[in-house]
Amino acid sequence: MAGSSLNGSSVRDFDFELAPNPALISLWSRAGNSGKVLPPMPDANLETLTEDPRWEAAKLAQLAAEAAAVTLRHLDLDPAAFEISLLGCDDARICILNSEFREKPLPTNVLSWPSADRSRPGAVPVPPEPGELGDIAISYDTCHREATEARRPFADHTKHLIVHSTLHLLGYDHERDDDAALMQALEIAILSKLGIADPYDLSFGKD
């Protein structure tokens, strides 16, 4: 939901988006030659393209590899058996992607493209086969703004977005209340393993 506040009371108040395209998207070709492709990180088969150099300075590849690996392990999946492609971009780029794939010409924090539709409304998603899980694009501008407004460490918020996006790639969603509750509970449990406080606790960051 574009423009949502991080301090909202609903489990859907965060600006996480699932792009409605079930096919794997080649983010590398869309980014052209303007970015820097970093080698896959140890312990997570995740390839990162930092189109916005601020992401390289923020160590996006390391943050994302850790978040994705912990997410997969929490669900008893081997991180080395799955491939994720990640684009670290800015609001301008993610606005283009959001417009093209969701017909919403607005910036958002993160977009996800699952390689297959694994969702089962009202039930746990279909377990993935080893191989490609899908693609993720994350905007530095929106992520930084949200972290600042919520008074949360930028690295923690970045990891939360990657956890959330990885769950989307695995078929989890938040369109229905019961699915949203399941996804939120998973996020809280996974983030606790990363040493990150519950982002849905509205008392966090308040004086």
At 131, is the secondary structure helix, strand, or coil? Answer: strand
With respect to residue 56, please indicate whether it lies within any of the assigned structural domains: yes
Write out the residue range of the structural domain in which residue 45 sits: 16-115+129-193
Answer yes or no: is 123 within a domain.
no
Question: Does position 206 have pLDDT exceeding 80, yes or no?
Answer: no
* Max CA separation in the chain (angstroms): 46
β-bridge mates for residue 127, sequence order: none
Q: What is the pTM of this model?
A: 0.81
Regarding beta strands 131-139 and 110-114, do their DSSP bridges make them parallel or antiparallel, or are they unpaired? antiparallel
State pLDDT tens for residues 67-99. Answer: 999 999 999 999 999 999 999 999 999 999 999
Determine the Cα–Cα distance for residues 35 and 8; give it in Å rounded to an integer: 34
CATH of the domain at 95: 3.40.390.30
Q: Is there a domain that residue 189 lies in?
A: yes
Q: Is residue 80 part of a domain?
A: yes
- Asked whether residue 204 is assigned to any structural domain, the reply reads no
**Total domains, the chain:** 1
> Each residue of 41-54: pLDDT tens digit?
556 689 999 999 99
Do 165 and 145 touch, CB atoms closer than 8 A?
A: no
pLDDT 10s digits, 2-31: 222 222 222 223 454 555 443 334 444 444
77 in a structural domain: yes
Instruction: Find all residues with CB under 8 Å of 54, minimum gap 6, and list them.
Output: 90, 140
Cβ atoms 150, 157 nearer than 8 A? yes
Does the residue 8 lie in any domain? no
Q: How confident is the model at residue 57 (pLDDT cuts 50, 70, 90)?
A: very high
198 lies in a domain? no
